[in-house]
Amino acid sequence: APMPPKPTAKIAKVDEQEHLAFGWAYVSVHDGEVVVDSDGESIEPAELEKAAYDYVLNERNIGELHEGEPVGQIVESLMLTPEKAEAMDITVPDGCIGWWIGMHIPDDEVFAKVKSGEYAMLSIEGVAGEIAMEAD
């Protein structure tokens, strides 16, 4: 059977009416191997899980291109692990461990850039153990 596509940080779904966008914030493991991201870095699943929960508890804001004021907030967050996938009876790419989010972006200009694909990906910025979420 063909392998499912590798999950990426591309924005996967947009709800125009509600100004919502969804996608993988970060994929830590795919096919049982730790993923090295476009910056040549990786985040171990346990660290990603801790950071994801901390971010939703204490921050939730979405920035634009890692600068300026927040332009939205996280409204959905799932740290997907093989155990959770099994409990939900869903199939994910083999050995995939990652953080899936949904964002509300009320700003019309920023949302238009997400909708058009100008901002097609999500990136997380780590600073001394903290994470900032961006659309870029």
> What is the tens place of the pLDDT at every residue in 55-103?
999 998 888 887 778 889 999 999 999 889 999 998 876 678 999 999 9
Mean pLDDT of the chain: 83
CA distances from 63 to 14, 22, 45, 89 (A): 17, 15, 23, 33
The pairing of beta strand 130-135 with beta strand 61-64: parallel
CB 33 within 8 A of CB 96: no
